[in-house]
Amino acid sequence: MSTPARYNFHETEARWQKVWNERQTFRAVMDRARPKYYVLEMFPYPSGRIHMGHVRNYTQGDVIARYKRARGFNVLHPMGWDAFGLPAENAAMEKKVHPKKWTYENIATMKVQLKSMGLSLDWSREIATCDPSYYRHQQKMFLDFWNAGLAYRKEAWVNWDPVDNTVLANEQVIEGKGWRTGAPVERRKLTQWNLKITHFADEMLERLDTLKRWPEKVRLMQANWIGKSRGARVFWDLTDASGADRGKLEIFTTRPDTLYGASFAALSPEHPIVAELAGSDPGLERFVAECRKTGTAAAEVETAEKVGYKLPLLARHPLIPGKTMPVYAANFVLMEYGTGAIFGCPGHDERDHEFATKYGLPILPVVAPADTDPKAFSVADAPFVEDGVIINSDFLNGLGVDDAKARVISRLEEMGVGKGTTQYRLRDWLVSRQRYWGCPIPAIHCEGCGIVPVPDKDLPVQLPDDVTFDRPGNPLDRHPTWKHVDCPKCGKPGRRETDTFDTFIDSSWYFDRFTSPGLETAPFDREENHYWMPVDQYIGGVEHAILHLLYSRFWTRAMRDVQMTDRDEPFDGLFTQGMVCHETYRAADGAWLTPEEISRDGATVVRLSDNSPVEVGRSEKMSKSRKNVVDPDQIIRDYGADTARWFMLSDSPPERDLEWTEAGVTGAWRFQQRLFRIASTALEKVPPAGTSKPASFPDAAIALRRAAHKAIAGVSADIEAFHFNKAVARLYELANTIDSFKAADEPAKWALREALEIFVRLIGPMTPHLAEELWQQLGHKSLLADSAWPQPEDALLVDDTVTVAVQLNGKLRGTIALPKDAPKAAAEAAALVMPELLRGLEGRAPKRVIVVPNRIVNVVV
């Protein structure tokens, strides 16, 4: 036997990539006769180089794409670039390179890197969101939404990121800090563009239940973010100390059942009534200013004491004639939620209790635990927030909380002093950004006409190239000429809007654009879009559970409302993959070290440069700051794309974090080599392709055939269920079985070829280059990428003999081999003569014997 050649992945991977490219194997064309399958991974931001997170994401998507393709689906698997964004501007400031140049150079680099992974992508559909041919349609859609009342400008308190010098949407503030910079956000009152995402709050919440192929976790996060709560709005008459009418106060509450326990009213410091009073009250003005200073960071909020400022007003209780209560401005009342005003019920709310205790306000219990004597029940020390029975509340006494809510709301409505309402936590999407490298907002400010849309004929509003980044702030704003345009309505000099769109708009419809990427006259062709959409399988990081995934659901509905599509949801199936982690290393001086800077010998780890000891830290998400990054380029160069892909899929379930280890990679690499060797050795024995099937097989060959056909069924099910690690384990098993198979006669050799062919087809989605190579060596002229997925023979999926466990009182005593579906009596008889069982029985007679066919016999004494 000749020594098998070593597998040259360099040459092989490049060769097959070239073949796929030249034959345009993965080009997608609409074909109504075939079922479509749209596989999409979240497109990358062109930051410079791909990282391991990309490799994991795109490997998973590629497995699905290639698998579905083999199963006969017309697969669309495109790739593009989320190309607008702040890093390009930061690069411009630091490296004096234009954002456009920087972005396109990064795209070029990353495209080469992605191509080296051997992904089954249709590159002819590549798009970049910074291309005017893309964003012109975005501008047009925005104008349509504006026209339909889904976009508006409003002055409001907004989140300002002081590092990026721009406003942020609510979703982009994480624990009081900017999502990109981590800087504590400031509150500013500004006039900004908003999209009316709240218009769809209820629909988006309701439809979550129908997204069966989304992770439960993501649906839950979105539901919490939308935050629907039922309650009531209640109107309180305000008077001053003399009893003179001072208007009405509207509050929101989810606990109208506790209205009889009210002891004060509190307004947000930003409430209009407070603002008005502050004009003539310097003390109040100081209080409001003080509240504004307190940050919104989680730690600050938690420790901040509840403080109030008593206003010269009294509120009349809507249900208790003659009862009035004090009115405060209070720092814990938010202007953005409800009506910016509350009533305080200290007996049944933590915050109100703290506030009332501090200011000596009455604390009256109006709900008591069901089995407690109401007279003995006190909430002086702590509020009672659980369900119970209403007390001290006139017509509500004796009711449960839910009944009381319904009863009091109908009473309030009868009296005309309140109404039942639904409140959402979700707020409208603030989309203007005071930045250059984004899609210009197509609007013109005119002194006479107000804010005017840019006419269709003037679209796209293109970014000017000649901008400077020598100063902070928005380069568009200080551009000498760009913003000076005439009003399209009256022709007088106007001013162009210099804000650009939040880049999350760019990514809210790119999946639609992929269905007709070159179309100039519209964002997409209706028929193409109707054929390909929705995305059947979307894959990306869970960090977008709210941001991108919520915005995309909104944009899809907005397009529907302006009659562009008839679709409600963009993504039929969603999978969120885990992060790629790596150990961290620190030198004695505390400096982080890269994996290349260290050397490992058994348990000891030292620094390569000077052999000094290195402290090994826990595995964390790969990040530049901790230096625990491994460059995919390097891995692909040293081990090949197939090895990187195989390792990404083995071991860890795809939704969980994966720890990247050098040992794991070399293990994956050795397996590629071993496979090549197993196949090469076997190839010398097997009959040529197309040899007809023998009439019968020896037992060993039947066992091999069973193993191969079971692998088909198992791997298929595993891929469908995103259990790639289990599919990998099955493939190892099949490889081991093939490796140890001795093909003595012709039927056995035929079975060996069959098993090899099945194996090669099963690894096709995972290690496509090696599989394509072996497929060719097996004597096939056509591409594996164009071949159908193997079909298992049903007869080979079931065994004719099964191993049945025999237990004594539930403890395993041994196993017996029985024909499949043997009668219970036969199983029992076979078990009862087992020596291991008899020894355990010690002569006792069985009280009961439980037989589960094909599984277990349990003897009970």
Partner RNA sequence: GCCCCCGUGGCGGAAUUGGUAGACGCGCCUGACUCAAAAUCAGGUUCCUCACGGAGUGUUGGUUCGAGUCCGACCGGGGGUACCA
Name the 3-class secondary structure at 740: coil
Q: Which amino acid is at 278?
A: A
For RNA, give the closer residue by CB, 431 or 665: 665
d(CA 201, CA 242): 44
d(CA 31, CA 704): 39
Judged by CB under 7 A, the stretch of 25-33, 97-105, 468-476, 835-843 that binds RNA is 835-843
State in angstroms the smallest separation of the CB of 753 from RNA.
21
Using CA atoms in the order 665, 671, 674, 680, what is the torsion angle rounded to 10 degrees? Answer: -110
Can you tell me which of 336, 386, 527, 821 binds RNA, judged by CB under 7 A?
336
Tell me, residue by residue from 204 to 243, as one string, x for binding to RNA by CB under 7 A and - for no binding.
------------xx--xx--xx-x-x-x------------
State in angstroms the smallest separation of the CB of 207 from RNA.
19
Tokens of 541: 């990081």
Is 848 a binding residue for RNA by CB under 7 A? The answer is yes
State in angstroms the smallest separation of the CB of 673 from RNA.
6
Which of the residues 620 through 659 are near RNA (CB under 7 A)?
A: 650-653, 656-659
For RNA, give the closer residue by CB, 279 or 602: 602
For RNA, give the closer residue by CB, 653 or 694: 653
For RNA, give the closer residue by CB, 577 or 650: 650
Which of the residues 596 through 615 are near RNA (CB under 7 A)?
A: 602
State in angstroms the smallest separation of the CB of 10 from RNA.
18
Tell me, residue by residue from 412 to 451, as one string, x for binding to RNA by CB under 7 A and - for no binding.
-----------x-x--------------------------
For RNA, give the closer residue by CB, 145 or 759: 759
CA angle, 169 then 172 then 175, to 5°: 120
Neighbours of 184 (CB within 10 A): 17
For RNA, give the closer residue by CB, 95 or 811: 811
For RNA, give the closer residue by CB, 338 or 523: 338
Is 728 a binding residue for RNA by CB under 7 A? The answer is yes
Tell me, residue by residue from 532 to 561, as one string, x for binding to RNA by CB under 7 A and - for no binding.
----------xx-xx---------------
- Exposed, middle or buried, 465 (CB in 10 Å: 0-12/13-18/19+)? exposed
Residues 6+ apart with CB under 8 A from 470: none
Judged by CB under 7 A, the stretch of 85-93, 315-323, 393-401, 808-816 that binds RNA is 808-816
Angle between helices 641-649 and 9-22 (to 10 degrees): 90
Residue in this structure with the two tokens 């390909």, named with its chain if needed = 532
Within 467-516, strands assigned E span: 484-486, 493-496, 500-501
Which of the residues 258 through 287 are near RNA (CB under 7 A)?
A: 268
For RNA, give the closer residue by CB, 119 or 399: 399
Backbone φ and ψ for 178, nearest 5 degrees, come out as: -65, 140
Is 670 a binding residue for RNA by CB under 7 A? The answer is yes
Can you tell me which of 32, 740, 782, 833 binds RNA, judged by CB under 7 A?
740
For RNA, give the closer residue by CB, 14 or 856: 856
For RNA, give the closer residue by CB, 39 or 734: 734
Q: What is the DSSP string of 146-203?
A: HHTTSEEEEEEEEEEETTTTEEE-GGGEETTEETTT-PBPEEEEEEEEEE-GGGGHHH
Is 725 a binding residue for RNA by CB under 7 A? The answer is yes
Judged by CB under 7 A, the stretch of 237-245, 247-255, 280-288, 478-486 that binds RNA is 247-255
Is 839 a binding residue for RNA by CB under 7 A? The answer is yes
Cβ-contact 84, 45 below 8 angstroms: no
Is 671 a binding residue for RNA by CB under 7 A? The answer is yes
Is 803 a binding residue for RNA by CB under 7 A? The answer is yes
d(CA 148, CA 145): 5
Is 332 a binding residue for RNA by CB under 7 A? The answer is yes
d(CA 411, CA 417): 9
Residue in this structure with the two tokens 């306000």, named with its chain if needed = 361
For RNA, give the closer residue by CB, 561 or 739: 739
d(CA 52, CA 582): 10
Cβ-contact 344, 356 below 8 angstroms: yes
Backbone φ and ψ for 540, nearest 5 degrees, come out as: -175, -175
State in angstroms the smallest separation of the CB of 575 from RNA.
14
Judged by CB under 7 A, the stretch of 27-35, 40-48, 49-57, 668-676 that binds RNA is 668-676
Tell me, residue by residue from 747 to 786, as one string, x for binding to RNA by CB under 7 A and - for no binding.
----------------------------------------
Judged by CB under 7 A, the stretch of 51-59, 132-140, 233-241, 723-731 that binds RNA is 723-731
Can you tell me which of 44, 340, 365, 595 binds RNA, judged by CB under 7 A?
340
- Exposed, middle or buried, 371 (CB in 10 Å: 0-12/13-18/19+)? exposed
Is 178 a binding residue for RNA by CB under 7 A? The answer is no
Is 807 a binding residue for RNA by CB under 7 A? The answer is yes
Cβ-contact 853, 822 below 8 angstroms: yes
Is 174 a binding residue for RNA by CB under 7 A? The answer is yes
Q: C-alpha 655: how far from its chain's center?
A: 11
Backbone φ and ψ for 226, nearest 5 degrees, come out as: -65, -35
For RNA, give the closer residue by CB, 185 or 459: 185
Tell me, residue by residue from 25 to 64, as one string, x for binding to RNA by CB under 7 A and - for no binding.
----------------------------------------
Q: What is the DSSP string of 392-431?
A: S-GGGTT-BHHHHHHHHHHHHHHHTSEEEEEEES---EE-
- Inter-CA distances, 412 with 232, 265, 376, Å: 9, 18, 30
Can you tell me which of 177, 645, 723, 749 binds RNA, judged by CB under 7 A?
723
- CA 88, 92, 95, 96 dihedral sign is positive
Name the 3-class secondary structure at 692: coil
Is 337 a binding residue for RNA by CB under 7 A? The answer is yes
For RNA, give the closer residue by CB, 572 or 739: 739
Is 824 a binding residue for RNA by CB under 7 A? The answer is no
Can you tell me which of 12, 331, 393, 516 binds RNA, judged by CB under 7 A?
331
Is 302 a binding residue for RNA by CB under 7 A? The answer is yes
Could you tell me which residues are beta bridge partners of residue 440?
Answer: 500
- CA 544, 547, 553, 559 dihedral sign is negative
Is 732 a binding residue for RNA by CB under 7 A? The answer is yes
Residue in this structure with the two tokens 């997608």, named with its chain if needed = 28
Is 809 a binding residue for RNA by CB under 7 A? The answer is yes
Can you tell me which of 122, 349, 506, 642 binds RNA, judged by CB under 7 A?
349
For RNA, give the closer residue by CB, 183 or 334: 334
Number of residues counted as binding RNA (CB under 7 A): 87
Residue in this structure with the two tokens 């403080």, named with its chain if needed = 307
